Amino acid sequence: MIDKPIIRHSFVFILLLCICSALSVFAAEVRPRYKDPSLPVEQRVEDLLARMTLTEKIDQLSGLGFDTKENQRLGIPVLKMTDGPVGVRWGTATAFPAAVGLAASWDPDLLERTARVIGLETRAKGRNYLLGPCVNIHRFPLGGRNFESYGEDPFLAARLATAFVKGIQSQGVLASVKHFACNNQEWERHKVDVGVSERALREIYLPAFKAAVQEGNVYTVMAAYNLLRGDHCSQSAYLLNDILKKEWGFDGFVVSDWRSVYSTVEAANAGLDLEMPYGEFFGAELSAAVKRGDVSAAVIDDKIRRLLRVRFRAGLFDRTDKEDPAVVGRREHKLLAAEAAEKSIVLLKNNEGVLPLNPATIKTLAVIGPNALDARVGGGGSSKVTPLACVSPLQGLQNALGRDVKIKYALGIAQRGDIHPLRPMFMTPLKPVHSGSNGLQAEYFSNLELKGEPVLTRLDPTIDFNWGYDAPHPALHRVDDRNTFSVRWTGKLLPPKSGIYKLNVINNDGIRIYLEDKLILDQWRKGLTTFKTVSVTMEAGKSYRLRIEYFFDGGISMVKFGWQLPDHDYIAEAVETARVSDAVIIFAGLYERFESEGQDRPRLELPNQDQLIAAVAAVNPRTVVVLNSGTPVRTDKWLHLTGALVQAWYPGQEGGDAVARVLLGKVNPSAKLPFSYINDYSQSPAFKGYKEKSLKSNYDEGIYVGYRYLDHHGINPAFAFGHGLSYTVFEYRNIKAVSSGPEVQVRCDIKNSGGRTGREIVQLYVHPVQSSVSRPPQELKGFAEVSLAPGESRTVTIKLNDAAFAYYDEGAKSWKTEAGDYEIRVGASSRDIRLRTRIRR
């Protein structure tokens, strides 16, 4: 007989089991499947998609400024975007070298590590989507955004883009490879219609995008502003649907560039998924188009699947990011920015060992040029990063040399259209009214009319600001994603000599200048960037009341104030400084006003600096020129007079110290040019047809871009693609190519036969010995880096696959490798081939 207590206990136990089971089923029903991180991504996507209304779906297809729209009912995470791609353009962040400088490192690992830090800082700022990398090919040598991308070669760009994407997305941040496709100039970028052959499209302009998609697994692709073969890229079904999504298998989403959508039905059906920054076309008009049947529900669902899929893959549904300002200031980020700057600097010329400079033999060093005073951190526009702190070249040299060497500075140039801000470093012309400090009292207002109490009051040592799309202070007013503010600077102006001064200002929007309470310049209206000058007579020893008022009403904000001294010969001053110095460093080149989104450079020549360089180099043969630019500059008027030439690009926040370390030999330069450094307009076919009134840009050169064009026509540039010198000497020996199935392994020995440890970039080019179609004489198909101590040797192996020997067959609409002999060329640049061997494919 069974004991009754046992029966009672069993019944209770069974009852509890039933209750727990019921609760589990109930909990499962309460908790949607899309919120279960253990389920596969596609199951979560389909579950959430089924729960969304059409209105909710349409809402997800356009943005609100830099964010997508919130869906609180379903808890869909907002995509919070920020510009890049060499740092987070959201307040202050670590500023890495411009992308073209990173490309000069030829170091995918460096780019991946850099991107990891950028991704980490993106999340630390509460953002989850970085708009980069930019991978457009340098077709037009003066392209305004060339500095943002990786050069002229599709193979190099593909390797670097893939590394960057992996680094960003390893941090749970969406990357956006841009601008798809053929966005190779800024002039009329919304209207220019690119005509390009299918072969050139496939061989030159698409490989970096393809690699980012298929190897980097990039989450998003940004459509370009321009037209391609008559269709805007944001509504090109051939680009977005046929190539990107169907042929390449891209399952992320396509986002528009800002205000680059031009239709509703065409763009939606062509494959655009997200309109930014607002829903001008992908809002009410798209909803109406769906109801009319012009855009199917299946097309909308496909877009939503893509937008949800990347959110799940990036982990956005399963985490909450919190802002952490301490992340940006980390020491390891600063050290990585310094390493990146050092690896980006290219030694282009070095006659008779002028570099590295030896402080033991130099008592006086002349430092000349406006780019010595300013840290040219990066180019202008949406890629501009504001660092916590930065180092100018002059500061870098002072840090490195201390008191061992006397540095004598001269500005060197004074030119119309440029500003030399008044700085307390060498003179104290600006004083507050009630203080002995240097600078002007500044009041920042959160309106356009200087009304009310200022949001921020501080002492500004100089008026030299380019805030980009940011505001001078987080508390300043933002309306519809636009910064709007005004500033009043007051103080005293102290002229060092008597005479007629030219007071200069560069600004966006409104500016007023008062001297002794008299209005001497009145441009109080909204407008584009302008340069204005006004002449005033002032006497030495007197102080003049100065008031400058400025307002800004959205876009890229900039204001700079400076002067030109009366009857002052800046070049003569620089020449005399150079004459009495043991060595000279001229910091020349460009800056963000000349290279920026929205405009191309006007000319190949340096802006008004050729005469300065030639005059200084003529009196001191130990003249070193350091250039800041993201594109080539014409050097033929002065290169033969100089002892050394260094390309420093825009080297980021640590650039000043990095340049100093290279010049003084503490770092051995190892970077190589990622584009051909042309010396004349005739050396690029892209100048022909540029700025055509028809707004047609026909790429008649086809596949012959950059060094391919120069090699094909036997033209010698100033410096070849891949060129870059070292302070040591590398020997190349014993090449051997071995085929193993579809793969070819190329081996060679590299020896450091010099006296310094150094890093060499070994480059491999493939030359088809015979071909039934026109092909470039050689194409980069592999590279490897090797670091060697003096006397050390190492074997380098570079692997080639079938793609290294193929060309795009337009008739067959596929890639083709012709049977025959191929010459393998290995060297230090495209024009410095050291080893050759042949294989048969």
- pLDDT single digits (tens) 98-118: 999 999 999 999 999 999 999
Report field, pTM of the whole predicted structure over 0.85:
yes
pLDDT band at 421 (very low <50, low <70, confident <90, very high): confident
Query: The tokens of 726 are what?
Result: 């070292």
pLDDT for 483 equals 77
pLDDT for 433 equals 77
pLDDT for 475 equals 73
User: Above 90 in pLDDT, residue 468?
Assistant: no
pLDDT for 193 equals 98
pLDDT band at 465 (very low <50, low <70, confident <90, very high): confident
User: Above 70 in pLDDT, residue 821?
Assistant: yes
CA dihedral 217→218→219→224, nearest 10 degrees, is: -140
Half-sphere exposure of 239 (CA within 13 A, CB side): 28
DSSP string across 287-316: HHHHHHTSS-HHHHHHHHHHHHHHHHHTTG
Q: Judging by DSSP bridges, how do beta strands 364-368 and 583-589 pair with one another? A: parallel
pLDDT band at 426 (very low <50, low <70, confident <90, very high): very low
pLDDT band at 205 (very low <50, low <70, confident <90, very high): very high
pLDDT band at 14 (very low <50, low <70, confident <90, very high): low
- Residue 125's contacts (CB-CB under 8 Å, 6 or more residues apart) are 82, 88, 90, 91, 93, 323, 328
User: Above 60 in pLDDT, residue 26?
Assistant: no
Report, as an integer, the average pLDDT of 1-30: 53
pLDDT for 300 equals 98
Report, as an integer, the average pLDDT of 572-592: 96
Q: How far apart are CA 562 and CA 546, in angstroms?
A: 13
pLDDT for 664 equals 98
pLDDT for 567 equals 83
Chain center to CA of 831:
27
Residues annotated as catalytic are 257
Query: The tokens of 519 are what?
Result: 């209005």
Q: What is the overall mean pLDDT for the chain?
A: 93
Which residue, chain included where needed, has tokens 């959201």? 90
Query: The tokens of 579 are what?
Result: 């004459």
pLDDT for 29 equals 52
Report, as an integer, the average pLDDT of 58-69: 97
CB of 512 within 8 A of CB of 568?
no
563 versus 623: which is more confidently predicted? Answer: 623
The type of residue at 278 is Y
Half-sphere exposure of 588 (CA within 13 A, CB side): 28
- In b/e form, how buried is each residue of 799-811, taking b as 16+ CB within 10 angstroms? ebeeebbebbbee
Report, as an integer, the average pLDDT of 427-455: 85
pLDDT for 23 equals 46
User: Above 50 in pLDDT, residue 350?
Assistant: yes
Report, as an integer, the average pLDDT of 511-538: 92
Q: How far apart are CA 45 and CA 68, in angstroms?
A: 18
Q: How far apart are CA 9 and CA 470, in angstroms?
A: 70
User: Above 60 in pLDDT, residue 72?
Assistant: yes
Nearest Cα neighbor of 780 from 4, 59, 150, 96 is 150
pLDDT for 209 equals 98
Q: What is the pLDDT of residues 252-294, one digit of tens each?
A: 999 999 999 999 999 999 999 999 999 999 999 999 999 999 9
Report, as an integer, the average pLDDT of 166-190: 98
